[in-house]
Amino acid sequence: MKSTLTTLILILFFLINLPQAKAQQTPEDILTKANEYFLQGDFQNAIIFFTDFLKSYPQHFAALDNRGLSYLALKDYGRAIDDFSSAIRVNKSSSMSYVYRALAYQGKNNLPSAKKDYEDAMFYDVSNLEAYYGLNMLYVGNKEYERSLKLLEKATALDPKSSRSYFLKAITHTFKKDTAKIFENVAEGLSWDSTYYLKNTSKDLVFVKAERFKSALNIFSQLISKDPKSYLAYFNRGMIYYMMGSNDKAESDLKKSKSLNKNPTELETTTTDKLIRACYRLD
């Protein structure tokens, strides 16, 4: 009887103090947990914890951005736009917030608003390459190829060693049907850094690149459907898979491109081979 009474007292004590234990969880603890879920890709739980944290700090623009990115990952573009807009109201000069919102606008096919946000991102940070790359893809989608190349020249001037600038030039030259330039650009990009796309240093940039790459993949997949013997379409799609880190798919497309290219130049052969090797280069 005494043992049972002791057990009941302990249970009662635990139940009384449970709310107090929960109350001891600080906003900082909640934010830490939110960021952990975010980095793990558990966006549903990340949203729950970011929302809880924002009740205490509604103007914490980094939390607003990260909750917006969580909504973006779940393709809830409306809520993503709301969060990025809130972040911008808190910190008007946050260049990346404009880039994030531009991606959400693209998800809703609101291209004029996306264009304006990319331009604003560059206004607040002239060296934000993500803004240049995003606006470039809008130009390519609108078949404004000369504007695309001029913009990428500016990006190259800001960072002459950015492989992505050269690879994006290659994509633009594909639509201009300038085969020599395609392989020249890729070769130059590889000469600077053939491991560029294997380095994911920031979770937010992973989202930014992924959204952009999906759009480009769709373009070249459609070209392959229309012309299954287009070695250039396979080459470009393979290059995009490489940029995404999808090495097996990249290798498959690049080898298919080689098999379809019946009269390759030396530059085409060496560049394709280098790109295939770059897919698995770990140093």
pLDDT tens, position by position, 73-124: 999 999 999 999 999 999 999 999 999 999 999 999 999 999 999 999 999 9
Backbone angles phi, psi at 180, to 5 degrees: -60, -45
3-state SS assignment for residue 12: helix
pLDDT tens column, 190-200: 887 655 444 44
- Do the domains 127-283 and 22-109 match in fold? yes
Distance CA 26, CA 43 (A): 21
pLDDT above 90 covers a percentage of the chain that reads 70
Q: What angle do CA 29, 35, 38 make, to 5 degrees?
A: 145
Q: What CATH number matches the domain at 127-283, 3.40.50.10800, 3.30.160.100, 1.10.3720.10, 1.25.40.10?
A: 1.25.40.10
Domain layout of the chain by residue ranges: 22-109, 127-283
Residue-level pLDDT at 57 = 97
pLDDT over 50 (residue 28): yes
User: Residue 261 gets which letter from DSSP?
Assistant: -
Residues 22-109, CATH architecture: Alpha Horseshoe (1.25)
Check residue 19 and give its pLDDT: 46
